[in-house]
């Protein structure tokens, strides 16, 4: 997560979770994510592309190809497949959601820890020279007269 956007895997988990909570099928939750992924530009990351490929192959052949997914995403897709076979996945989806949120919070903390250093760069190169100029110019003007 380089830009602190929500990972699309978390959005997929939320779509599935909402579908289950509304007594809809898992398939409808996946369709919601697919519609969102095709309509919004922010869904152009590797997970979304791999998920769309997996979804298209899965609908045609019922065979899953997990190439291109990392270990965490493979676990999510495997869980989705077991849900599509009729198993209950709600508690596991909640656990995955908690893990993804924890990862997001850790990433936010990491970025927040870098802020003091990053904020000193404009201070050193812009504000400090401006203050020096404001202080030195009147002094230099008095010395020349």
* Tens digit of each residue's pLDDT (9 = 90 or more) over 28-85: 999 999 888 888 776 677 888 888 888 888 888 877 777 778 888 888 999 999 998 8
Of 65, 78, 80, which is closest to residue 30 (Cα–Cα)? Answer: 80
77-107 pLDDT, tens digit per residue, is 999 999 988 899 999 999 999 999 999 999 9
Are 17 and 3 a contacting pair, CB within 8 Å? Answer: no
pTM: 0.74
Of 74, 71, 29, which is closest to residue 51 (Cα–Cα)? Answer: 74
Are 5 and 42 a contacting pair, CB within 8 Å? Answer: yes
Are 76 and 67 a contacting pair, CB within 8 Å? Answer: no
């Amino acid at each position: 997560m380089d830009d602190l956007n929500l990972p699309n895997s978390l959005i997929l988990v939320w779509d599935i979770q909402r579908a289950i909570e509304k007594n809809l099928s898992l398939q409808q939750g996946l369709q919601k994510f697919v519609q969102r992924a095709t309509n919004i530009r922010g869904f152009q990351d590797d997970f979304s592309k791999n998920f769309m490929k997996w979804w298209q192959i899965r609908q045609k052949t019922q065979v899953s190809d997990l190439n291109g997914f990392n270990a965490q995403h493979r676990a999510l897709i495997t869980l989705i497949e077991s849900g599509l076979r009729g198993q209950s996945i709600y508690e596991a989806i909640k656990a995955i959601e908690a893990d993804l949120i924890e990862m997001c919070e850790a990433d936010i903390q990491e970025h927040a820890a870098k802020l003091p250093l990053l904020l000193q760069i404009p201070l050193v190169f812009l504000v400090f020279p401006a203050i020096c100029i404001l202080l030195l110019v009147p002094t230099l003007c008095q010395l020349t007269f």
